Structure 1
Amino acid sequence: MYAAGLAATQGHHIQENSTSFFRNGGRPSGVIEIPGSITEENAKKLKSNWDSGYTGENAGKTAILSNGAKYNPTTFSPVDAQTVEQLKMTAEIVCSVFRVPAYKIGVGQPPSSDNVEALEQQYYSQCLQTLIESIELYWMRRWKRGKTRVQNLMSPRC
């Protein structure tokens, strides 16, 4: 269960990061490099102007940099970070913890459909059987405690 929790948390963080990334128009954060020195006041003013002009709803607009300034991205793109592959891996980990074949949730490669009945039997025996038996045991114990009540309900009335 702990492994599933870690994988689910990682998947959640990947999705949050992707949401933030695409909210900014798919543009990574970065650093504006200016040759020479700059005062702290000018740096704050430049940052404020950049944030108001090129982030949020203005993300993706064309920036004009002068005096040798350069924009250097500092984060990975989703391709570089292999976001899709990481999300797939986290889903596969969660599936393995609960013994659900990954193809059942659309993550893994579906097996050939040569023997669908065997695949369904495997799914039942490896995933569902334990859960179903636990539910059966729970209800059997509950019914045994209230056995006389159940018998009274089931007996024919005169």
Structure 2
Amino acid sequence: MTKTTRAIVFPNGEAYIDEKGIWDSAVARGAAVRLTGKAATAALHAHWRAELLRDVSPGADIYTRHISESSIVVYCIGLEPDGKPYIRNITWTVARLCGMRFNERHHAIVKGGGGYDKSHQIVADLGRCLWPDEKEAERLLKERTL
């Protein structure tokens, strides 16, 4: 038996996982709509993609850091509109959008196997998830190691 995806969606397009029913009051007030199944998954993916596209643009440097043999943390570095630099940990959002396994304890993406560059694979998958219509989407982002 598979678990049905449940999400809460607000009028501004923000979507959140709703596993424990914590958004019941927002639904009761009519401020949000509860979705299940494929509609919930689509709403969550659209929200996560929009969230990442605020920080990641084509040609961006995506930084990765191995915290163990199979656990990797993902960061993006950029400039705020006022010119101040920022570093954002985008690991959880990347894992959810790209369907990767996430380790809650280490707050890292888990990639098994060997004989390939796991960091490069994560960055290539992120490019394909953000720009699915691009033929060379996996080459739009540059992978850097911290």
**TM-score band w.r.t. shorter chain:** under 0.3
Q: Which has the higher helix share?
A: 1
Q: Which has the higher strand share?
A: 2
Whichever of the two has the greater Rg, that structure is 1
Q: What TM-score does the superposition give when structure 2 sets the normalisation length?
A: 0.25
